[in-house]
Chain A
Amino acid sequence: MAGMLQEQTKIRRDAWLISVTMLALFLVVWHLSTLRAAFDPKGFTEDQLQMMEFNGDILRMAEGGYAWNPEKEKVKGVPGPLAVLGKIRSELSEAFVKKGTNDHGIAYLVLYTVTRFGAGFLVASVVAIILGVLLGLNKVLFQAVNPFIQILKPISPLAWMPLLLYTVKDPKWTAVLVVFMAAIWPTLATTAFGVNSLRKDYLHVAAILQLSWFKRLFKVILPGAAPTIVNGLRISFGSALVAVVPAEMLLGELGVGYLSWIEWNNLDIAGVIFAILVVGVVGVVLDSGFNKLAGLVTYQE
């Protein structure tokens, strides 16, 4: 026991060391490959230098000599890690500031995205579980509905967007509905499967004990199918998270996905990288929350 525990600790420590080394290596390589030498006026004529200054490529320093124009540098090549760090610092310092109707701090953007994602995912899950239980309990209904599920399932949720936008005429609700469309199919399909393939023994016990319809559903069927349902929810969760970013981009709804697009329009590449990192962090936090909830309802046979 102690030996195994020790080995576990060793594996964890080694893995952690490797992770840190990989990150450090990546940052160093990134930094070096995006480094630009200071401006060297040697080899340029005075006319050329004046033209470059006129174009805004370089600045004349107060103490004489020239340097690259930092504003222009922003859009030359990929920004280095230090530039991104600076961006992160400035964005986080203004996390709770609303500068204008389209320029909200990052905390607000995260809140908007999480709300949008949460609403779409929750409603889709409830609808999918109810429908899935009905289909799982009724073989005829299942076979009747299955062809439609098979056709609708592979459609990218974004493909629905124009139609949804045209129908509901409101980008805010369209974004939620895109998340809904992304999240409903996996949960629906696995719930129907999980309920349908629930071990007959459990239903036999429920039948002998003459459990009411309600008790049968909440004491036997749902908890029995819970591990399968959770697997479906996990897939739905992932695809909803993937769908929410482009939905925001295309609909221009404020959120972390929209942030990435706005920064691109501003040609602020450091801002784009910052937005990508935020999407990643939001995903990790939501995912670990989901796993905690999933652990409560799953069981081992």
Chain B
Amino acid sequence: MAFLEIDHVTKYFPSSSGNGQVCIFKDATIKIDKGEFVTTIGHSGCGKSTLLNIIAGLETMSEGAILLNGREVSGPGLDRMVVFQNFSLMPWMTVFENIRLAVRAAYPDWDREKIAAHVHKYIELVGLKGAEDKRPTALSGGMKQRVGLARAFSIEPKVLLLDEPFAQIDALTRGVIQEELVQMWNSTRNTVFMVTHDVDEAILLSDRIMLMTNGPSARIAEIVDVTIPRPRSRDSIIEHPHYYKIRNHIIHFLVRHVSHGAVGGVAELEQPMDAVPLVVRF
């Protein structure tokens, strides 16, 4: 049995003209195993962040279901923690207080010292020792997201949801934090669902990559199996013979789906709407 199951999830939004609805994506279905790292890539507007928010319980789905451990989940919960694109740290709290808020919520019966020790452990893990009493305003984007990651990992969620976590971080720092994320994830092996625009990031981190067509009525067109063995690092992964094959395949897919016009039409001829996603293995 799959650990996290996204079962024919469909989302409609009310259309901007007022009457009627627009289908954002249709019949998103994937079974994710425990400890698996799955990433979704697609153009803006394909609804991938909406899908992530639905899994988190922050938005409702129109049809379908999310099953965690065989049980249907509705509404947000501590078992599915999000790392937000815009960090979503409380600006009136220090680094320590931001993480403590989460730890206290996750472990309500722990005493003060145990909570503090736990918070310090995760602050140290993301290399922010010494910045405990700083407020988010005093931190760079990279440091803010380190706090976001520490907050998410600290409550040891069953599923970690990463919503374009490095999109607002400069390219040099991004690589460093990606590597840190790999290391943290290696020791915890949470089940991860990530949304990104960054193809290299997806290949470095993922076991499987879901490719979504453009919205409206987007769907999961392909699922790419990334078989490059772990542990991976940014230096070594590009030496792997499959790396550029995967990269080119994904980029071709994205370029093919760049517009809604004739090219998209051709793509749909190749794959009818109700087709199951093509599984591509490298």
Q: CB within 8 Å of B: which residues of A?
A: 201-202, 204-205, 207-211, 215, 219-220, 223-224, 226, 299-301
Contact = CB atoms under 8 A, between A and B. Distances in A.
A224 B92 contact: yes
B90 A224 contact: yes
B101 interface: yes
B91 interface: yes
B35 interface: no
Contacts of B92: 223-224, 226, 299
B77 interface: yes
B102 A201 contact: no
B84 interface: yes
Contacts, number: 57
17 contacts: A204-B56, A204-B58, A204-B88, A205-B90, A207-B58, A207-B76, A208-B56, A208-B57, A208-B58, A209-B101, A209-B105, A210-B76, A211-B101, A215-B105, A223-B92, A226-B92, A300-B91
B78 A209 contact: yes
A201 to B, nearest CB: 4
Contacts of B199: none
A226 to B, nearest CB: 7
Nearest to A301: B91
Contact of B80 (A205, A208, A223): A208
Nearest to A208: B76
B138 to A, nearest CB: 9
B67 interface: no
A201 B86 CA distance: 9
A260 to B, nearest CB: 42
Contacts of B155: 209
Interface string B88-126: 101111000000011001100000000000000000000
Nearest to A201: B88
Interface residues of B, number: 24
A220 B89 CA distance: 11
A220 B102 CA distance: 12
Given A210-B77, A299-B92, A204 B82 contact: yes
Contacts of A299: 91-92, 135, 137
A3 to B, nearest CB: 24
A209 B107 CA distance: 11
Nearest to B56: A208
A224 B98 CA distance: 13
A219 B100 CA distance: 12
B90 A209 contact: no
B174 to A, nearest CB: 21
Nearest to B148: A205
A218 to B, nearest CB: 12
Nearest to B81: A208
Interface string B63-81: 0000000000001111011
A219 B76 contact: no
Contacts of A205: 84, 88, 90
A232 B15 CA distance: 37
Nearest to B87: A201
Q: Which 5 pairs across A and B sit closest by C-beta, in order of nearness?
A: A201-B88, A209-B105, A299-B92, A207-B76, A208-B76
A87 to B, nearest CB: 48
A104 to B, nearest CB: 44
A93 to B, nearest CB: 48
B80 A219 contact: no
Contacts of B84: 201, 204-205
Nearest to B105: A209
Contact of A301 (B93, B106, B137): B137
Contacts of A209: 78, 101-102, 105-106, 155
B77 to A, nearest CB: 6
Contact of B101 (A219, A300, A301): A219
Q: Identify which of A215, A223, A224, A299 gathers the most chain B CB atoms within 10 Å of its CB.
A: A299
B78 A300 contact: no
B175 to A, nearest CB: 26
B79 to A, nearest CB: 10
Nearest to B102: A209
Nearest to A219: B101
B78 A208 contact: yes
Given A207-B58, A209-B106, A223 B90 contact: yes
Nearest to B82: A208
